[in-house]
Amino acid sequence: MQLQLPEPAADALAASLSLQQLIAGDIVRHGGWIPFARYMELALYAPQVGYYSGGAAKLGKEGDFTTAPEISPLFGATLAHLATELIESNPALPSLFMEFGAGTGKLAHDILSELGQQGRAPEKYFIVEISGQLRARQQEALRDFPQVEWLDILPEAFSGIVIGNEVLDAMPVNLLLKSEAGGWLERGVALDAARAFRFEDRPADAALSALIPESESLPAGYLTEVNPVALAFMRSLSDMMLEGEAAAALLIDYGFPASEYYLPQRAQGTLMCHYRHHAHPDPFYLPGLQDITAHVDFTATAVSAAERGLDVLGYMSQGAFLLNAGIGELLLRTSPEQAAAYLPQTNAVQKLISPAEMGELFKVLALGKKVEWPRRMLQHDRTHRL
C-alpha cells in the first residue's frame, strides 16, 4: 500500500534513515528478528533519532497529533479543581503532584496556573520525562513555576496526585497472531533482501499469550496487542503509591475494557500511526518521524494495580469525567454574552466531551490509596465493565 502523506524535510528524512540503520543493526545482532515491541521501543525512544527523542515538533498544529491540554486550558483547570477537592477532603493527601510524560508542558502549566489563581499553589510538581527534547520544551514553558522539578526515575514512595495523560498508549506493545492451528504466534520484525523492514511471525512465548483473556475463543487470523511494558509500569506506579501515606492517580487515555478490546470483530488490533495529523496503519513508514500507538486495555491496567493493593476509585469516559468534575461550571466563568471569547471555548470543550469527538474514545481510570472519591464522580461510572 502506497501512503500519500506529506513529504518530510531533508534533515528529518536523514534522521529517519539513521534510525532505520540503527534498527537494522539491532535486528542483525539478534539473529535476524526482533519482537515488534523492540522495534517500537527503538522507533519511539532511540537516543537522538527516536520519535520522542528527536527534535521535531510532536504536538499541536505543527506536530502529528493534538492532545486534550492543547485543545483547551479548561482541561487542566478541571483537573486542578478536582485535585484541590481531593486534597482538602483527604487530610493524609499532601499538595504534591507528579505527572508522567508531560508533553509540551501545557497540562502542567494549566494546572499550576489554576491552582495559583485559587491561592493553592502546590509544594512540588514533579515531572517524570524520558525525552530530553520534550523536557527542554517543558522547562521553557514552565520557567515561571519554581515548584516544578524533573525526575529521571520513579521515587520509592510518593504521596499526592499522580497524572498520566496519554502515557500508556505510547508504551511498546507485542503483536500476537492466532495461527490456523490454534496456537499464538508473535509478530516481529525482520529484514528482506533489500534490508527493508518486514513482519515475520514466530511461536509466541506462553507468558505473552496468557495475557489475552479467553484467547481460545478468538478466531484464526486474529491479530492483537498485549502490553507487558505497561503492566510493569503499573506495578511500579502502584508500589510507589502504596509506599506513600496517601495518593490518587488519574490515568487518561484512549482504550477499552478487555471485553471490548478483544472483540472478535477487532481482528486487526488497534495499532495506529500518526504523521502530520494523518492516521495510518504502517509502522515502517519513516520511523522516527511518526508516532506509533496502541489502545489501552483498561481491564489489564486496573487489575495490575488492584492486585498490587490500590483501590480502583472509578472508570468512565473522558466526557463523563470532565462533566462530573465541573468543566461546565468553569466554562461559564466566561459569559455567553461575550461571544468572541465564549464560542471558541465552547467549541473546544465540545471536542473534549462529545461522544463523537474525544469524549467517548478516551477513558479515565482513577486509582488511589487512602483516598475518598467524591460521590458525584461516580455518575456514569463503568468500573463494573472492567
- Per the CB < 8 A criterion, the answer to whether 107 and 163 are in contact is yes
- Per the CB < 8 A criterion, the answer to whether 218 and 334 are in contact is no
pLDDT bracket for residue 244 (50, 70, 90) = very high
Q: What average pLDDT does this structure show over 270-282? A: 91
The strand pair at 184-191 and 174-178 is best described as: antiparallel
Domain with 116 in it: what CATH number?
3.40.50.12710
What's the pTM value of the predicted model, to 2 decimals?
0.95
Has residue 150 been placed in a domain? yes
Has residue 213 been placed in a domain? no
Cell of 263: 472483540
Angle, alpha carbons 242-248-251 (nearest 5°): 110
Has residue 347 been placed in a domain? yes
Has residue 99 been placed in a domain? yes
User: If phi over 0 gives left and psi between -120 and 50 gives alpha, with beta otherwise, what is residue 32?
Assistant: left
Distance CA 285, CA 277 (A): 14
Has residue 210 been placed in a domain? no
- Residue 131: what pLDDT? 85
Does 64 have pLDDT greater than 70? Answer: no
Q: How many domains does the chain have?
A: 1
Q: What is the 8-class DSSP label of residue 264?
A: T
- Residue 341: what pLDDT? 93
**pLDDT digit string, tens, across residues 195-226:** 999 999 999 999 999 999 999 999 999 999 99
- Residue 59: what pLDDT? 45
Range of the domain at 28: 10-167+227-385
Has residue 190 been placed in a domain? no
Distance CA 375, CA 342 (A): 30
- Residue 38: what pLDDT? 98
Distance CA 44, CA 97 (A): 26
Has residue 219 been placed in a domain? no
Has residue 176 been placed in a domain? no
Q: Which of 132, 135, 166 is nearest to 148 (CA)?
A: 135
Does 60 have pLDDT greater than 50? Answer: no
